[in-house]
């Protein structure tokens, strides 16, 4: 278990503070993560990597000459928000374009994608390469659906070396895609991991058993087997990774040159890994492969998870040259980087600029903002009460942190809303800024979606006019459309959308019938609750649960359930506070 923390809610921030203090030779803190503390003599394409915290040395530990230029660092096991990623991009870019690279997880895809769109609007050429190395997360024929685990390192290292060598953005993107196409990984776990302050691990493995095909966020394995010997584990790894379907196009096993990376996930120590690696090396050589620059240690962890993974990078001449090129970062060093070519960059103030000024607002809009703040406080309270159960149902086919993420998001939104209401913000500003706070603090898929819901609704509730039932219903309907456009989920995919769409449709129908908002909301909340429970009968079509198929059957989607809880609790706030004359269109 994780034993040392101050406040679990601030663990990631505290960790980054300590990391930057210990690693100032390589990194400086910037809003949303870290960027290099030095600059090369000649401008380079900037490689920006990132993901949730809890995986050190991924991702901040890989920032430095010859590797990444910046890392966006989200909360524990939660992707950084779009705002945080954008901040790191702007701190790292040098005028030659930016390559974003990260593991293929829904939250990261959403947030990094939104950040890419934002900087592109300002003329920054920005591309993305998702890492998809985990062979158990999707068939070989669907590599684009696979998630990224320890194979992140091979893609990041090749792309960073290409940038250092002066490649243009097209070239850096090309070799990153090639490295990803030639990287395969498989992981196993003997125990789950426990987040700071948590009383139980995100998932458990029966005593004497091993989960095969786990994810680095606590997603359960695809198969459960007996724990093998060290040689047995090596044989399992190599058998799966050398399967004919997993040999990359253009490569052949006999005569291949491969980089093996045996990665410890947190509690399996190097001595154990070396015992496993002795057999891995023998098996690879027996199969006709030549081992190049093997790596054994911790490269992508999962807090205190007892587990390991094996990654193979299948080289060609260009990939081998880039893999062996010098790099100097806090956690990965190879060759010799010429420090004489580096220029120090002054540290930036780590505090984000506060949005002190508020747009003018009418008294009616300020009163509505105060009610919204109380509604967000009610959402925080109901999620606090339900967080453990939300985590339990998420752990069955996901990674078990949905409740924790929702707690972070609702707390940030409620705190921000209370402050803005006290300062006299209008309804639109309060919702928009509370949505940004939710997204920034929660990260992950839920943070992206709830941030979008609040900001979209905020765009329909002006600061200079009194909100009406019609404007609220229109805002909720627009939010539902925006969520589907953003995340690409549809009805029946077993996501929050399955509750949000019936909620929005029912609210709009009742408001169109000139029903008071409190009454319309009551009907919509009931529709959301019914729809959320009905997701138990659906197979997941998107998200991490998709990999676990029938494990998700019989269990409702946690995102849909949390939306239903929030809608129900806000119904009570509306019933208590909305007067009839302000509740109708």
d(CA 135, CA 292): 22
Q: Using the predicted structure, report yes or no on whether residue 13 has a pLDDT greater than 50.
A: yes
Can you name the CATH fold of 363-583?
1.25.40
Q: What are phi and psi of 398, to 5 degrees?
A: -125, -145
What count of residues does the chain have?
585
Q: Using the predicted structure, report yes or no on whether residue 577 has a pLDDT greater than 70.
A: no
DSSP states of 424-445 as a string? T--HHHHHHHHHHHHHHHH-HH
At 582 the pLDDT is 43
Mean pLDDT calculated for residue range 207-212:
93
Percentage of the chain modeled with pLDDT above 90? 75
Can you name the CATH fold of 8-325?
Rossmann fold (3.40.50)
* CB-based contact 311:183 (threshold 8 Å): yes
Q: Using the predicted structure, report yes or no on whether residue 185 has a pLDDT greater than 50.
A: yes
User: Which candidate, 164, 177, 179, 131, places its Cα nearest to that of 46?
Assistant: 164
Mean pLDDT calculated for residue range 571-580:
73
> Residue 62 burial by CB count (10 A; 0-12/13-18/19+): exposed, middle or buried?
buried
At 175 the pLDDT is 98
Q: Using the predicted structure, report yes or no on whether residue 77 has a pLDDT greater than 90.
A: no
d(CA 106, CA 183): 20
Mean pLDDT calculated for residue range 45-70:
96
Sequence ranges of the domains in the chain? 8-325, 363-583
**Dihedral sign computed on CA atoms, order 4, 9, 14, 16:** positive
At 348 the pLDDT is 58
SS3 label, residue 476: helix
Q: pLDDT tens, 385-416?
A: 999 899 889 878 676 778 888 999 999 999 99
Mean pLDDT calculated for residue range 299-306:
93
Q: pLDDT tens, 275-292?
A: 999 999 999 999 999 999
* CB-based contact 82:128 (threshold 8 Å): no
Residue 155 in tokens: 């893609």
Catalytic residue among 55, 217, 240, 402: 217
At 338 the pLDDT is 83
Of residues 536 and 8, more confidence is placed in 536
Q: pLDDT tens, 215-235?
A: 787 676 788 999 999 999 999
DSSP character at residue 61: G
* CB-based contact 498:531 (threshold 8 Å): yes
Give the Cβ contact number of residue 513 at 10 Å.
9
At 399 the pLDDT is 67
d(CA 40, CA 318): 22
* CB-based contact 154:261 (threshold 8 Å): yes
Torsion of CA 87, 69, 268, 189, to 10 degrees: 60
> Residue 485 burial by CB count (10 A; 0-12/13-18/19+): exposed, middle or buried?
exposed
Mean pLDDT calculated for residue range 50-56:
94
* CB-based contact 65:38 (threshold 8 Å): yes
Mean pLDDT calculated for residue range 122-129:
98
At 391 the pLDDT is 85
**Average pLDDT value for the chain:** 91
* Cα 456 off chain centre by: 21
Mean pLDDT calculated for residue range 199-208:
84
Q: What are phi and psi of 358, to 5 degrees?
A: -115, 135
At 48 the pLDDT is 98
Q: Using the predicted structure, report yes or no on whether residue 340 has a pLDDT greater than 90.
A: no
Q: Using the predicted structure, report yes or no on whether residue 299 has a pLDDT greater than 50.
A: yes
Per-residue pLDDT band at 51 (split at 50, 70, 90): very high
Mean pLDDT calculated for residue range 263-272:
95
Residue 118 in tokens: 């934002």
* CB-based contact 504:561 (threshold 8 Å): no
83 is catalytic: no
At 266 the pLDDT is 93
Mean pLDDT calculated for residue range 156-160:
98
At 199 the pLDDT is 79
Q: pLDDT tens, 508-554?
A: 999 999 999 999 999 999 999 999 999 999 987 665 445 555 666 78
Q: What are phi and psi of 577, to 5 degrees?
A: -110, -25
Q: pLDDT tens, 26-43?
A: 999 999 999 999 999 899
At 10 the pLDDT is 82
At 444 the pLDDT is 83
Return the axis-axis angle of helices 363-397 and 558-577, rounded to nearest 10°.
Answer: 150
Give pTM, 2 decimals. Answer: 0.85
Q: Using the predicted structure, report yes or no on whether residue 488 has a pLDDT greater than 90.
A: no
At 513 the pLDDT is 94
């Amino acid at each position: 278990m994780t034993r040392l923390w101050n406040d679990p809610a601030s663990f990631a921030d505290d960790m980054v503070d300590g990391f930057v203090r210990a690693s100032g030779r390589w990194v400086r803190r910037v809003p949303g993560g870290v960027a290099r503390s030095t600059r090369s003599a000649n401008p380079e394409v900037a490689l920006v990597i990132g993901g949730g915290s809890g995986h050190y040395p991924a991702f901040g530990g890989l920032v430095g000459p010859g590797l990444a230029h910046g890392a966006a660092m989200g909360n524990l096991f939660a992707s950084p928000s779009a705002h945080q990623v954008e901040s790191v991009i702007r701190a790292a870019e040098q005028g030659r374009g930016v390559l974003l690279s990260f593991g293929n997880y829904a939250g990261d895809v959403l947030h990094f994608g939104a950040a890419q769109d934002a900087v592109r609007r300002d003329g920054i050429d920005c591309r993305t390469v998702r890492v998809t190395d985990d062979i158990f997360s999707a068939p070989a024929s669907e590599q684009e659906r696979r998630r990224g685990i320890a194979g992140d390192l091979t893609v990041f290292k090749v792309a960073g070396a290409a940038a250092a060598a002066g490649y243009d953005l097209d070239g850096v993107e090309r070799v990153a895609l090639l490295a990803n196409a030639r990287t395969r990984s498989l992981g196993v776990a003997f125990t789950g991991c426990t987040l700071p302050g948590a009383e139980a691990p995100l998932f458990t493995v029966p005593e004497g058993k091993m989960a095969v095909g786990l994810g680095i966020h606590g997603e359960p394995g695809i198969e459960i087997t007996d724990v093998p010997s060290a040689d047995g584990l090596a044989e399992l790894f190599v058998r799966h990774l050398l399967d004919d379907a997993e040999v990359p196009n253009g490569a052949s096993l006999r005569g291949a040159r491969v980089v093996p990376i045996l990665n410890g996930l947190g509690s399996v120590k190097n001595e154990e890994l070396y015992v496993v690696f002795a057999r891995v090396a023998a098996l690879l050589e027996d199969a006709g492969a030549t081992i190049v620059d093997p790596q054994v240690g911790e490269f992508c962890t999962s807090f205190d998870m007892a587990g390991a993974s094996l990654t193979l990078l299948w080289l060609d001449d260009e990939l081998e040259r880039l893999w062996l090129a010098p790099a100097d970062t806090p956690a990965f060093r190879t060759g010799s980087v010429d420090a004489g070519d580096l220029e120090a960059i002054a540290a930036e103030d780590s505090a984000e600029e506060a949005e002190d000024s508020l747009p003018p607002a009418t008294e009616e809009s300020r009163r509505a903002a105060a009610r919204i703040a109380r509604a967000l406080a009610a959402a925080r309270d109901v999620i606090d009460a339900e967080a453990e159960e939300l985590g339990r149902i998420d752990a069955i086919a996901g990674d078990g942190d949905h409740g924790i993420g929702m707690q972070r998001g609702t707390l940030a939104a409620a705190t921000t809303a209370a402050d803005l209401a006290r300062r006299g913000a209008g309804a639109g500003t309060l919702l928009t800024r509370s949505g940004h706070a939710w997204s920034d603090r929660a990260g992950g898929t839920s943070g992206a979606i709830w941030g979008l819901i609040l900001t979209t609704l905020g765009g329909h509730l002006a600061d200079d006019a009194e909100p009406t039932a019609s404007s609220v219903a229109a805002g909720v309907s627009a939010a539902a459309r925006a969520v589907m456009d953003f995340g690409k989920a549809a009805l029946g995919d077993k996501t929050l959308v399955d509750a949000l769409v019936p909620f929005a449709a029912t609210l709009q129908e009742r408001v169109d019938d000139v029903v008071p908002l409190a009454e319309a909301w009551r009907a919509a909340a009931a529709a959301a609750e019914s729809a959320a429970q009905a997701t138990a009968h659906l197979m997941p079509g998107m998200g991490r649960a998709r990999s676990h198929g029938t494990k998700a059957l019989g269990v409702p989607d946690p995102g849909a359930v949390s939306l239903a809880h929030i809608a129900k609790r806000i119904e009570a706030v509306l019933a208590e506070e909305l007067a009839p004359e302000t509740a109708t269109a």
